A and B are shown apart, each in its own frame.
Chain A
Amino acid sequence: MSKSIVILDYGSGNIRSAEKSLAKVGAKVSISSDYETCLNADGLVIPGVGAFESCMQGIKKVKGQEIVDKRLAGSRKVFGICVGMQIMFENGLEHGVNTPGLHQWPGSVTELKANVLPHMGWNNVEVSKGSQIFNGVESEKFYFVHSYAAKELDLHGTEKISAPLKHYSIHGEKFLSSVENGPLSATQFHPEKSGDAGLQLLANWLESL
């Protein structure tokens, strides 16, 4: 039976591609902001385009914090894309505005120190060993469009909980381009815009549900 995926609808940009790409790899996809629907789906995707602050405003309106907290507490999978990854951190600093995020992970999202911004185009990812979502596409390039990113995730494992898998890319400086942390995974790039490599990554995530 195909897995049910809900894309959280909170007024963020182009979510049609996310919908179509997940459907392409076999998911039963719906776009919703309904609380129960978002809690009950096999997988929840949090998209995100534009500014950190406006995304957080949208997230609040649909009780996104509660939805993500509850799902993760119950080990139900969540996948953040682009700003949908960034808002998993403590806060975001854009244009001098400090906006609190969902705080699933410690650390801040700050501007990339690079000569050319946005970081726009296809770039490599240094994939850490043991990745589930990058299985088979470790050497591929993925499509990025952003000017801000988390540079590091300082979260260690314990006896009972394994440390997050962190994957990095470089544009001007090194930044986190993807994290796999138990039920919460995220990519700074857009798998739904990354051709066959991106579809494979989404298929891998789907398989993990």
Chain B
Amino acid sequence: MPLAIRIIPCLDVADGRVVKGVNFQNLVDAGDPVELASYYAENGADEITFLDISASKDDKKTIIDVVKKTAEAVFVPLTVGGGIRSVEDVDLLLRAGADKVSVNTSAISNPDLINAISKRFGSQVLVISIDARRTGEKFAVSGYEVTTHGGSKSAGLDALAWTKQAVERGAGEVLLNSMDKDGTKDGFDLELISLVKKNINVPLIASGGAGKVSDFAPAVKAGADALLAASIFHFQEVSINQVKAELKANNIEIRTQI
């Protein structure tokens, strides 16, 4: 299959600065999202994701400014998530230079937002981000529930049913975060990836649990079309190109740079 598996670093951005878990020795300003995004784009990233975790979620100006500056310097796709509540929010981000937006909590409280965004801009701009966790609760028929607030609250929804519904409503891609694996560094959630992959026909980005180079190939074999990670790359424990070399050694198609 010539379509390459994508490796996507995710940067948490608050008030215009990269926060949480970035430890770069060789950058002038490791807190500058533009500089970090450029660094990743030059070092194997197939896409870049910004997650806006600003405290003041209504102030879109700062993240829009970051997106504008990034789009001037980085020529790989850029996805922006965090605090997107309306079609207007999406419009501003796309105009600033984002290629895709990811929505999570706001789509749970207002599922029609998915339809509205995909109708206006096409499903290819919309990533539905889902924080899933194993549960024994009866409502979660698939064995997984949707969570919010970093996994601390249950949304009372079955994760698989919600994923399918979001795709039917027009999401063009699924970002699946395993809250059981998030932060554990003991590998991606292969069972969850495999379950969701069997039930959707849009690309699947898997997230949560990456701790070493050898964690990535099993996630691809379980069905992921793209793999997203944060701290493993930010702390330079593993480089994106090391991950790609390992995938290639496992006969998985990757993109090499010129």
Q: Contact residues of A with B, CB < 8 Å?
A: 13-14, 16-17, 20-21, 24, 49-51, 115-124, 137, 140-141, 143, 145-147, 169-171, 190, 192-200
Contacts and interface: CB of A to CB of B under 8 A. Distances in A.
A190 B77 CA distance: 10
Contacts of A140: 258
A169 B1 CA distance: 11
A143 B124 contact: no
A87 to B, nearest CB: 14
Nearest to A115: B201
Nearest to A191: B75
Contacts of B72: 20
B121 A49 contact: yes
Contacts of B75: 17, 20-21, 24, 192-196, 198-199
Given A24-B75, A49-B122, A197 B46 contact: no
Given A14-B95, A16-B95, A140-B258, A121 B2 contact: no
B122 A196 contact: no
B4 A14 contact: no
Nearest to A141: B255
Contacts of B46: 121-122
A86 B203 CA distance: 22
B45 to A, nearest CB: 9
B123 A118 contact: yes
B63 to A, nearest CB: 15
Query: Closest 4 A-B residue pairs measured CB to CB?
Result: A50-B122, A16-B97, A122-B255, A122-B4
Contacts of B225: 116, 120-121
Contact of B71 (A20, A49, A197): A20
Given A20-B75, A20-B97, A123-B4, 15 more contacts: A13-B94, A13-B122, A14-B71, A14-B99, A49-B124, A115-B201, A116-B225, A118-B173, A118-B202, A122-B46, A123-B2, A145-B77, A194-B75, A195-B76, A200-B258
Given A14-B97, A195-B76, A51 B6 contact: no
Interface string B121-132: 111110000000
Contacts of A50: 121-122, 124
Contacts of A198: 75
Contacts of B251: none
A170 B201 CA distance: 17
B146 interface: no
6 contacts: A16-B68, A49-B121, A171-B3, A193-B75, A195-B75, A195-B76
Interface string B171-182: 011000000000
A140 B225 CA distance: 19
A118 B124 CA distance: 7
Interface string B76-88: 1100000000000
B96 interface: yes
A150 B226 CA distance: 26
Contact of B99 (A17, A21, A199): A17
Interface in B73-116: 73, 75-77, 94-99
B166 to A, nearest CB: 15
B201 A117 contact: yes
A124 B2 contact: yes
A6 B203 CA distance: 34
B172 A197 contact: no
Contacts of B94: 13-14
B41 interface: yes
A171 B6 CA distance: 15
